[in-house]
Structure formats: structure tokens, C-alpha cells
Structure 1
Amino acid sequence: MFFFKKKEIPLHEFFPKGFVDMHSHLLPGIDDGAKDLETSIALIQKMASYGIKNIITTPHVLGDVYPNTPEIIERALKEVRAALQERNMTDITIDAAAEYMLDEQFSAILEKDKLLTLKDNYVLVEMSYFNAPINLYELLFEIQLKGNRPVLAHPERYNFYHHNFKEYYKLKTAGCLFQLNLLSLTEHYGKHVQKTADKLLKEHMYDFVGTDAHHQNHLHLLQKIGTTKNLKNLESLLLNNTKFLKS
């Protein structure tokens, strides 16, 4: 019996030209991502070395933990853009939206039409890792009633759905789009997450992908996804990011 090693692909060849990473935490000091401006720039430089030069970064908006407003996010974005300009990193495009926790505060933000969208009307949302909100489907309906499209961040990481897979179909039927964390294709978040990500991929339930990069370790581990198998499975999703999210 012969065993063949999976062919590895460097990431600058893995990501298509114009690829847009639509989930990361790169703005300095406003959530659990980059802690300062130098860290922000270093993370962006690393992503650029992988061929990721179009970024929509998505700081958390999470109750009193990360009470980020459009004004706070825009101010941090301007700081990063200015630093990139000073360093002559003019081939990088960075915009900002937000990753909204589906909680009571989100309902208030939605009511005031204060959402920061990825592009056009796509809104990145997340849930607690412990359980889904009781009014989840009401929130998804309200998002769409406002003319937006909910994109659920890393559905594969919600352990409470792992043994109740039909809930994923229910979410899709309710109009929820799915975003895969690329590191979920590795064992970084655990084998159960990896297994669920594989199953969701096989069922063609994902719409977009994202790095969800918070720090250098995430970007170092990202190199593990560069295989021919992953490229084959992700090709259409990588192109979705490019087609639907590019400015």
C-alpha cells in the first residue's frame, strides 16, 4: 500500500487575485484582536504576504465588553489607513464593518439602523458559544426586515448544534448565510469543530470564508490550510468573497 502526502500550496497561490478577507480583528486596542497600531500593521503585512490585500476587518460589538460604535471603529480604521499610507503600503485596501453579538444590545442597535455592513447589506453576526439566543429567529427576521442579509460567523464553532445538525438547515431556511473560519479546517478549535466544518462543506452550506485573525499565531497556523484538497473544496467560496465583497 502506498501513502501519498497531500500536496501543499503556498498561500499566495491559494487565494485568488482580489480575494477579500471579511472576518478579522485588526483594529488597534478596541477588542481582543490587535492590541496596538504596530501589531495591526504587522498582522496586515503578514496577510499581504499570503496574497490577502483586500480586508474588511470586523471588530466585536459585544455589550459592555466591547461597546464599539461606528464612530470608535471609524476612528481606529483611519489610524490604520494613515499608518499604511506612511509605510507606502498602498496596495492594501482595508475597510471596517463589525461582528455583532446577537443579544439585547444588538436589538437596540438594529432598531436605530446603526449597523456597519460588510458590503451593501451583508451583516456579520455571532452567537454565544454556550447557547443560541431564545429569540434567534426573531432577530434574523428583523435583520432581513431592515433590508439586510445576516451572515453567521463560524457556525461550525457552536458546539450545541453539533449533535442537532438539522438546526443548520433551519438557519439556512430562515435566510441566514454561513461564513467558515478557515482555521476550522485544522484542529485549532478542536476535532469536533473540524468534523462539523467538513460536513457543512460537503453539504454546500457555506457562503463565505474568513480568517478570523486575531494575532500572529492564527496567521502562522493558517498556512496549514494550503493543500490541494482544501483548494478544491473552497474554490467557489474563495471566489464568492471576491465577487460579492470586493469594493
Structure 2
Amino acid sequence: MTRRWSLISLITVLALALAFVVVQLVTWESPAEEASGGKPGPAQSGGAAALRGDGWWPLHGSGTARAGERDAVPNDLVGWTQDGPNGGALSLDGDGGAANVGIPVLDTAGKDYSVAARVRLGTDEGFRTAVSQDGPGISTFFLQYSAADERFAFSLPGSRTLAEKTGKPETGRWYHLVGTYSQDEKTMRIYVDGSPAGERKASAQPRKPGNLVIGRGRSGGRPADYWKGDIADVHVYERELTAAEVSALSSGEPE
């Protein structure tokens, strides 16, 4: 009888333990879900992999792409520096140097898109474009510096969004820039060092996209607005990055 009651007690204890485990599995939330109110965070919806983008050119001594179909091919007027935020950068003299991807990476006429770069100004004079995509006669977008406004800017033909929430950029200092455009909202935004810096409504006119270019823009059918300074870690995305994603990218490059 004693052995029978011992067996019954053991079965009861095991049943209670199993019930506790089941309850824990049902109610458990990951730290990421708890921090976001039960909603998946960036790591659960793509995370670092999603931030690689549709094109990624680290520019750490070469134009080799870590994401996308094509490398960025520098012309003979560019140089390289080891003094970059993550190990190196494209160095430009503002007088003809650029790196050309050779294809249109973004559908700027029909889809949302974002462009990011780490930049260092070597001058505070003139228009200086870090990343653009050629169009017929004029770039379809410009991620740039505007000396007329003394601000970083994200520009479309006929529209310019200024980084109004930041002061005049300092020469010789590294900044992280992101420009985004939403086709549905007709809204363009610029972020500086991971924080929202400006936005405005701007209806982009459909234009046949040309080559993605690092280090210059295009205006009047000719190359223009050559960057003077350094550029690294260029990304492009055929979607609009969220503010949280911009902050994460500004904090560190994806693996």
C-alpha cells in the first residue's frame, strides 16, 4: 500500500511540474517583445540583415559591394583614406572624383526608397552631393550639403528638405545621413546622426532612373555638385526606413 501511494504521489508531482512548464511556454514573452509591448522588434522582422539594403558599399579601400548586384567603380580622380568611421573611406577633392555603380538601383518613380551614407565635409562652400541617382537631365534625388542653406539636405528635382533641426555642419567631422521618400505620403525626410532633422511634402515626378553615383549629382545634363571630403558606408533601400531603423543603422553597420 505504501509503495502504491508513493507511486501516486510521484505521478501527481510530475503532472503539476508539466502543467507549470506548459503555462510558462504559453505566457512567455521574449525581451524584444516585452520592450515593444509584445510586438516584434527589428531583430524579429529582419534586423541587421534587413539593414544591409538593396545596395551596400562600405568604401573601405575599394568600391566592392557587400549587398546588391554591382560594385561602385571609382574613376581615376578619387583617393582613399584609412581615417574612416569603420576602417576606411572614399576621399574626394570636389573636382571630378566619383564612383559609379553603373545601373539604376532604385525605382525612384514608383517605389518608396531610402539612401544612407557616412560623410565628412572638406568645405562649407557650394552644393556638395554625397549620393545621387542620375536621371534625364537631373538627378532623381540628391543626398547633399547646401551652402546656400548651411544645412545638409535631401533633395528631389524642384524640392529640398533641409536638416532644420541641426545647425550648420562642421567641416572635418563625420556625420551619418539618411534621406527617405514615401510615394503614398509624398513625403521626404532627412535624418542626421540617427535623429529626424527635417521633412516636407514633395510630389516627385516620374523620371527614368539612371546610374547610382557616389560623390556627385547631375544637373543640366552634366555631372555637378562634386563632393569635397570623404564618404563611407553607403546603403540604398527600395523602401522607407523607419525612424527606429535609421537610429539602429546610425549606431553601427550591419554584419
Larger relative helix fraction: 1
TM-score by length of 2: 0.30
Which one has the largest radius of gyration?
Answer: 2
Larger relative strand fraction: 2
TM-score by length of 1: 0.30
